[in-house]
Amino acid sequence: MSTTQRTRRLAAAELVATVLDDGSFSSWDEPTRGPETSAGYREELAAATAKSGQDESVITGEGLIRGRRVALIVSEFSFLAGSIGQAAADRIVAAVDRATAAGLPLLAGPASGGTRMQEGTLAFLSMVRITAAVRAHRQAGLPYLVYLRHPTTGGVMASWGSLGHMTVAEPGALLGFLGPRVYEAIHGEPFPPNVQVAENLFDKGLIDAVVPAAQLPEIIDRALAILTPEPAGPVPSPATLDVVPSAVDAWTSVEISRNPRRPDLRSLLKYGADDALPLNGTGQGEKDPGLLLALAKFGGQSCVVLGHQRPAGASDDGMGPASLREARRGMRLAEELALPLLAVIDTAGAAMSPEAEEGGLAGEIARSLHDLIGLQSPTVSVLFGQGAGGGALALLPADRTIAAHHGWLSPLPPEGASAIVHRTVEHAPAMSAAQGINAASLHANGVVDHLVDEQPDAAAEAKAFCRRMGTAIEYELASLATLPPGGRVERRANRYRHLGRPARKNAQENPQERDWFAAAP
């Protein structure tokens, strides 16, 4: 028996009752006024009302999810397969506009066969005005969250069903552009099984999670706690501001950073963040295990997190071009929702393969650098461990950079640099020192602003190290929040114009001068 057959599908009113706090729903629906219709269509509408108990294929309104005020648009599939005609589109657009005007986050729960065929092209074109309303809501910096239900296909999936900042789906839901019955009628054979199932779309990086409706209140509450944070008070200066560079040589740091027991980004989110909600893939059919994307809170500071996820085995490929496309999704999310961005660097290097070349790895590194340099949101980068090559560089540009004692950054792994210069890898230790790749050199040259100590290395104290790193991240995010947004991009660009100059070093040693120096021409 399939997942779809095992799962009982909720009607619109049942979903509303499941997700919202008891008694908190307030309907926004006005009586519908559809287009002129034939007698036969009027009979279909009357029958749909009798069957569903609703006057249209969507219900709208507002309510509370764990005390948070949220607007809702929910499809009623038993009303003509949840199809969208002009009256339903009017209701959706009115609800989105009202949510935008009220500054409310919006939860959409589509379950629809798409355009209502009885109304033809004008109904089809309604997807344009629905999309325009959703775009205005998103441009207002308001969260748009989508729960895809069984089934969601056609124009609904190709418009307001696929525009969520975060998109989760019902287990076993059939989701896709092409309705299976349409495919079979045209091609004379069934559509291949399991392609359009929610779990497969998750595996392909098209949706962020697959969850039953009963779990939605917790997920929405956690998401909104991050996406719509309450104003946070001042953050005390952490002890890490007084940390001095490690005295060990660069090659020792490289070796320490390669310890397979060293904590990774998942460890940081588990022990150093107050909450983290993972996202999944590019949303465009790509998912690369080399990068992790999440919404997170460090103390009272919300952010979008993106960073390298170390491969499970030494033989696994490094990050590929899809990783950076996923990272750029995170950058867009941060900018649209006015959240700071945290980029965590921990990579032995980008993928070296024909597939990576044909997938446009070099171009994706360039576009990532381009987007980070010009991002309107505050940015913090963290040299958490290894930082080799363009894969590391792609996530580096930021307003502030934190480094673990044994974090490092180099054009290539030291062995690669040695091979180029000396035609042997034997000179890797000397090359690592000569190139100034370790955190101590990067701090002296103004690349790193804030050091987090390892006692003696992070692998020996993973939880404590991640907590110190989390505190340092919270402090830097809070510090950036106090700076005026005007001139942020210029200050960031100037930061990299002055690397290595003595004045930069002096500015790092005197925190009161940091912002002045970053703004200096």
Q: Is there a contact between 151 and 174 (Cβ–Cβ < 8 Å)?
A: yes
* For range 395-424, the mean pLDDT: 96
3-state secondary structure of 359: coil
Residue 450 is which amino acid? H
Calculate the alpha carbon distances from 436 to 250, 251, 408, 423 in Å: 8, 10, 9, 20
- The reported pLDDT for the residue numbered 314 is 54
DSSP β-bridge partners for residue 469: none
Higher pLDDT, residue 6 or 266: 266
Residue 477, helix vs strand vs coil: helix
Is the predicted pLDDT of residue 205 greater than 50, yes or no? yes
Confidence label for 473 from pLDDT (cuts 50, 70 and 90): very high
Token duo for residue 62? 């507002």
Q: What is the mean pLDDT of residues 318-343?
A: 94
Most confident segment among 278-292, 306-320, 398-412:
398-412
Neighbours of 30 (CB within 10 A): 11
DSSP states along 133-161? HHHHHHHTT--EEEEE-S-EEHHHHTTGG
The C-alpha R_g of the chain, in whole angstroms, comes to 26
What is the pLDDT, as a whole number, of residue 350?
87
Q: What is the pLDDT of residue 316?
A: 57
> Crossing angle of helices 250-257/414-422, nearest 10°?
130
d(CA 195, CA 506): 58
Report, as an integer, the average pLDDT of 330-350. 96
DSSP string, 461-475: SHHHHHHHHHHHHHH
Section 453-467 average pLDDT: 97
CA distances to 201, 466, 467, 472 from 452, in Å: 39, 10, 10, 7
Mind listing the domains of the chain with CATH numbers? Answer: 3-226 (3.90.226.10), 232-519 (3.90.226.10)
pLDDT reported for residue 37: 81
For residue 501, what pLDDT is reported?
63
Give 514 or 219, the one with higher predicted confidence. Answer: 219
What is the average per-residue pLDDT within 219-229?
96
> Which residue, 470, 518, 520, 515, is CA-closest to 495?
518
Q: Residue 277: what are its φ and ψ, rounded to 5°?
A: -120, 110
Looking at the predicted structure, is the pLDDT value of residue 480 above 60? yes
Q: How many CB atoms lie within 10 A of CB 355?
A: 12
- pLDDT tens profile 290-329: 899 999 999 999 999 999 998 765 555 678 899 999 999 9
